[in-house]
Amino acid sequence: MKGYKFRLQKLLDIRIDIEEEYKRKFQQAQSIKEEVENRLDSLKTNYDKYNTVNSKDSIIDRKIKNQYLIALNSSIESTASELRDKEEAVEEVRLDLTQKQIERKTVEHLKEKSLQSFIKEQNLIEQKANDEFALYGFIRNINKKS
């Protein structure tokens, strides 16, 4: 709209930039969480793969497999703990992002209200001018008839 200037535009721009930054942080936290999930799935797959007992294996092979399964189990537990931490971090960033979106939308709402008020004011000014022109035209027509 010509002649309209939102006084809080810099604030709105800052809030938009902050929201974009938090969107990037959220995406980064989400991708890190997905990497940990993939690692956990891989460990569980390996555990399931080597958890079978084969009667043809020697005692040494069984002991080695048992030690490997213990190590895998330990890794699964630590990765599951890490996954819970990453899920909490993602949730925390999600809440921050939601708050930043609310802050941005608040200023955008103020901008919309201000713009509507400006348009309404401009329409009133235009309507007054049109009414004056119509009144002058009416008076001129009356003077011509007289």
State in words which class domain 9-112 has.
mainly alpha
- Check whether 8 has a pLDDT greater than 80: yes
* Apex 124 CA angle, 121 and 129, nearest 5: 130
Q: With contact defined as beta carbons under 8 Å apart, do 17 and 25 qualify?
A: no
Rounded to whole angstroms, how far apart are CA atoms 105 and 82? 34
pLDDT digits (tens, 9 = 90+) for 35-51: 999 999 999 999 998 88
User: What mean pLDDT value characterizes the chain?
Assistant: 93
Q: Which amino acid is at 115?
A: L
What is the residue extent of each domain of the chain? 9-112
The pLDDT of residue 61: 87
pLDDT band (50, 70, 90) for residue 137: confident
The rounded distance, in Å, linking the Cα atoms of 94 and 101 is 10
Q: Are 36 and 82 in contact (CB under 8 A)?
A: yes
- Residue corresponding to tokens 């969480």: 33
Report in angstroms the alpha-carbon separations of 140 from 130, 134, 135: 15, 10, 9
Q: pTM, whole model, 2 decimals?
A: 0.75
Neighbours of 80 (CB within 10 A): 14
Nearest to 70 by CA among 78, 86, 135: 78
